Amino acid sequence: MMVSFFDQFASPLYLGIPLIAIAITLPWVLYPTPSSRWINNRLITVQGWLINRFTNQLMLPLNMGGHKWALLLVSLMIFLITINMLGLLPYTFTPTTQLSLNMGFAVPLWLATVIIGMRNQPTVALGHLLPEGTPIPLIPVLIIIETISLFIRPLALGVRLTANLTAGHLLIQLIATAVFVLLPMMPTVAILTATVLFLLTLLEVAVAMIQAYVFVLVLSLYLQENV
């Protein structure tokens, strides 16, 4: 039984070919493309307004050098939201429950912010490893601790997204299994459990959007330290 609960997180195969590539590329097909007309339909208008609002909110604390990352960060957030939301549909696979995929997003972007900081302002970037006013005997220990915390950042990014989505999917499957088991024996309890399942599903929709936003927001904070 426990193995079947975790089978949903295994990458599906078809004729020995992993289908995770299709799950990653499919979301881009679902978005409407803006037309060349002056007046667009309501869907494209709302989509453009939401993207503009998020871009302004995300780029507000960054200087002009960080604004070059706007397209990358906004595209990443839309991509993560779409994958997370599609993963809540029945009989679908959520690629962001794979730690390898999330680390593939987190490590290169985090490393890019570190390289930018070392290239543009090496003194300030290295100064983060040693807080001002540190006693001399504590300097070696603090440098080691700050260095470890620096390298843990991409791991925390990937694990946070993976753990939240995995826990939500497991809870949904556990409660759904309980509903089917209780329905023939205790219908009233099964209905109450189904109500909890519905509320949990709404919560997971919010978590899917919030976690994508948090992932990009933390990346922007790392970028803010280095530009």
Q: What is the pLDDT of residues 19-37, one digit of tens each?
A: 777 778 777 777 777 667 7
Work out the pLDDT band at 1, boundaries 50, 70, 90.
very low
Taking residues 6-20, what's their average pLDDT?
71
Quote the pLDDT of residue 5.
Answer: 65
The secondary structure of residue 10, as a DSSP letter, is S
* Full-model pTM: 0.84
Percent of the chain topping pLDDT 70: 93
Q: What are phi and psi of 62, to 5 degrees?
A: -95, 150
Work out the pLDDT band at 111, boundaries 50, 70, 90.
very high
Quote the pLDDT of residue 7.
Answer: 65
Quote the pLDDT of residue 130.
Answer: 79
Whether the per-residue pLDDT at 6 is higher than 70: the answer is no
What is the token pair recorded at 46? 């709302």
Is pLDDT larger for residue 150 or for residue 41?
150
Q: What is the mean pLDDT of the chain?
A: 85
- Compute the C-alpha angle 72/76/82, nearest 5°: 150
Q: What is the pLDDT of residues 142-200, one digit of tens each?
A: 888 888 988 999 999 999 999 999 988 889 988 988 898 888 888 898 899 999 999 99
For residue 209, give Cα distances in angstroms to 2, 38, 175, 205, 220: 28, 30, 22, 7, 17
Sequence letter at residue 64: M
Element containing residue 160 per DSSP (H, E): helix 139-182
Are 158 and 102 contacting, i.e. CB atoms less than 8 angstroms apart? yes
